[in-house]
Homo-oligomer: A and B are copies of this chain.
């Protein structure tokens, strides 16, 4: 059976591209996403056209049992999951506290925190029993600090970060590598940022930042995911950040007068 890389949250940005990178490296990429069958089929057929193995699956990650069922099915029908990429974000744009409904707050948590918990519960014990495996978790700036308008998002992503630290403390000594990858900037991703901004503002951002290297390019992000997943176990990275060279780090301020 194939060695599987399961991507939960496989849009045309980081998720799908990481899946393609792992497929190019010999994994069977199983791509799960919530909607857009056509987009999913395109990702799968692109991987196959390049000689790789891939399977697509629509998946509602917040629905009880769906992640768990997918993991079971993959392990039974495709092969052992050697890499889990948890790439579901919870970005809803900035909203003031009164504009953030309890429903939205809970939904962000279900997608960003609880979904990873459930995926880890399904996958980590299997990896631990096999003595190897990697869980790659896409994170964002909001995991590192709260900012105005980020009530739901920051709370969810920070919960996810500490969950990763807990998983790492429990599973690293059993051979499971947990990595928390902080994407500290805008990703050149039509399915997420593009949809959030709309086509015009997205095009303007790409043009302003520089389309060649001013946004994080998914194919290069994927190289680092691949590297982290294949570090020798004497030298595992738990956390790292990624940003475009022209971006300031989250702890810096362009116009800060503070000293």
A→B interface (CB under 8 Å): 64, 91, 93-94, 96-98, 100, 102, 105-106, 109, 113-114, 117-118, 120-121, 124-125, 140-151, 153-173, 175, 177, 184-186, 188, 212-217, 220-221, 223-224, 227, 231-246, 248-259
Please list 25 pairs of residues, one from A and one from B, whose beta carbons are closer than 8 Å in the complex, sorted by A's number. Answer: A100-B117, A102-B114, A102-B121, A109-B113, A109-B114, A146-B161, A146-B169, A147-B165, A147-B252, A147-B258, A154-B162, A154-B163, A155-B162, A158-B158, A165-B249, A173-B245, A175-B245, A186-B258, A213-B233, A216-B234, A220-B235, A223-B227, A234-B245, A236-B245, A237-B241
Contact A236 B243 (CB under 8 A): yes
Find chain B residues with CB under 8 A from A221 CB. Answer: 235
Could you say how many copies of this chain the assembly holds? Answer: 4
Tell me the nearest residue of chain B to A116, going by C-beta.
B155
Question: How far apart sit A121 and B106, CA to CA, in the bound complex (Å)?
Answer: 14
A-B pairs, top 10 by smallest CB distance, nearest first, are A146-B165, A146-B166, A158-B162, A240-B240, A159-B159, A220-B232, A145-B251, A154-B162, A148-B169, A155-B159
